[in-house]
Structure 1
Amino acid sequence: MAGCFPSLAALAGMQKLMLVDLNMGMKSSAALGAALPQMANLLELELWENSIDDNMVEVLVPGLAECKRLNLLDLVRNRIGDDGLDVLIQGLPTSIDTLVLKSNQITLAQHLALLRLKELDLSGNTLSSDGPRVIAASLTNPECRLEALHLDRCSIGDEGAAVLAESMRYNQRLTKLALQGNAITETGWDVFSSVLCDTTSINATHGSNHALQSLGYDYRSNVPRDVETLLDLNDGQDKNLVAATKILQTHRHLDMRPLFCGKLLLLPHVVAWLERFAESWLDLKLSSIYEFARAMPMEVVGGVVGEKRGKKRMHSSA
Structure 2
Amino acid sequence: MKVTSLLTYRTMEYRDYNYYEENAATINLGEITSSAKNAKILRRLRDGDANLSHLNLDRDREACDNFYIGQGDDLGWLGYFIGRSEHLQHLQICYLPDGEGGHDAFVEGIARSQSIQFIGIDNLSNDAFTAIMRALGSLSQLEELTVWGHNNIGPDGWSELRTLLESGVCKLKTLCLCRNNYIGNEGMGVLSNGLRGIGSSFRKLVLANNSIGNEGLSTLVDALQTCTGLERLELYGNDFSSAVAELDSLSDWLQGDEVNLKHLGLACCRINDEGLQAFTQGAVNHCTELNLRGNDSITATGLSYLSNSIRSDSCCVETLHLEHIPLGDYGLEVLALGLADNKSVKSLYLEDLDNDISVNSAGWLAFSKALCDTSSVNSTYLSNHTICKFRVVGRGGGETTLHLRLHEEHPQYAARCKILMKHPHLDMTPFFEWKLKFLPFVVAWFERSKPCTMMTIYDANSASRRRVVDESDESFESRKLTAMYEFIHGIPLEAMKSHNGLALAAAYDKKIAMIEEENKIALEQRDERYREALEQRDRKIEQLEKEIMMLRGL
What's the TM-score, normalizing by structure 2?
0.46
Deviates more, 1:292-301 or 1:9-18: 292-301
> Tell me, what secondary structure is at the counterpart of 1:235?
helix
Residue deviations 1:258-283 (CA, integer Å, cap 9, x gap): 32233323212211211221455233
Task: Flag the 1:255–1:160 CA change in 2: closer, same or farther, 3 A.
Answer: same
Alignment of 1:28-47 (within 5 A): 31-36=160-165, 38=168, 41-47=171-177
* CA drift at 1:137: 4.8
Q: How many residues align?
A: 300
The alignment status of 1:293 with 2:293, answered yes or no, reads no
Quick one: distance in 1 between partners of 2:136 and 2:441? 64
What is the letter of the counterpart of residue 388 of structure 2? Q
Contact 2:345 2:387 in 1 (8 A): yes
* CA drift at 1:291: 0.8
What is the letter of the counterpart of residue 246 of structure 1? K
RMSD between superposed Cα atoms in Å: 3.6
Q: 1:164 aligns with which of 335, 342, 359?
A: 335
Higher Cα Rg, which structure: 2
* CA drift at 1:23: 6.3
Contact 1:99 1:120 in 2 (8 A): no
The alignment status of 1:19 with 2:147, answered yes or no, reads yes
> Tell me, what secondary structure is at the counterpart of 2:200?
coil
Quick one: distance in 2 between partners of 1:8 and 1:305? 85
> Tell me, what secondary structure is at the counterpart of 1:169?
helix
> Tell me, what secondary structure is at the counterpart of 1:45?
strand
Alignment of 1:1-318 (within 5 A): 1=126, 3-4=130-131, 5-21=133-149, 22=151, 31-36=160-165, 38=168, 41-51=171-181, 52-57=183-188, 59-65=190-196, 66-81=198-213, 92=224, 93-105=227-239, 106-109=269-272, 110=275, 111-112=278-279, 113-115=282-284, 116-129=286-299, 130-181=301-352, 183-184=355-356, 185-187=359-361, 188-216=363-391, 228=402, 231-236=404-409, 238-239=411-412, 241-278=413-450, 280=471, 281-295=476-490, 296=492, 297-298=495-496, 302-303=500-501, 305=503
Quick one: distance in 1 between partners of 2:283 and 2:175? 20
Quick one: distance in 2 between partners of 1:20 and 1:108? 24
Task: Flag the 1:262–1:123 CA change in 2: closer, same or farther, 3 A.
Answer: closer
Task: Flag the 1:104–1:63 CA change in 2: closer, same or farther, 3 A.
Answer: same
Contact 2:371 2:385 in 1 (8 A): yes
Task: Flag the 1:9–1:156 CA change in 2: closer, same or farther, 3 A.
Answer: farther
User: 1 or 2 for the larger relative contact order (CA 8 Å, sep ≥6)?
Assistant: 1
Residue deviations 1:216-247 (CA, integer Å, cap 9, x gap): 36589769xxxx47x332224643x1111122
> Tell me, what secondary structure is at the counterpart of 2:415?
helix
What is the letter of the counterpart of residue 108 of structure 1? I
Contact 2:352 2:392 in 1 (8 A): no
Quick one: distance in 2 between partners of 1:233 and 1:25? 56
Identity rate, percent:
31
Quick one: distance in 1 between partners of 2:330 and 2:219? 29
Deviates more, 1:281-290 or 1:40-49: 40-49
Residue deviations 1:27-86 (CA, integer Å, cap 9, x gap): 655553453352664333322222243554455455435442333333444434566567
> Tell me, what secondary structure is at the counterpart of 1:194?
helix
Quick one: distance in 2 between partners of 1:192 and 1:299? 47
Give 1 or 2: higher strand fraction. 2
Quick one: distance in 2 between partners of 1:58 and 1:132? 33
* CA drift at 1:198: 2.0
Deviates more, 1:16-25 or 1:78-87: 78-87
| Structure 2, unaligned runs of 5 or more | 1-125, 240-268, 454-470, 505-554
Contact 1:205 1:247 in 2 (8 A): yes
Residue deviations 1:144-199 (CA, integer Å, cap 9, x gap): 43222223224444443333332223421122221134654454444321112222
Contact 2:319 2:345 in 1 (8 A): yes
| Structure 1, unaligned runs of 5 or more | 307-318
Contact 1:180 1:215 in 2 (8 A): no
Task: Flag the 1:277–1:141 CA change in 2: closer, same or farther, 3 A.
Answer: closer
* CA drift at 1:288: 0.6
Task: Flag the 1:251–1:72 CA change in 2: closer, same or farther, 3 A.
Answer: farther
Quick one: distance in 2 between partners of 1:25 and 1:144? 43
Task: Flag the 1:198–1:94 CA change in 2: closer, same or farther, 3 A.
Answer: farther
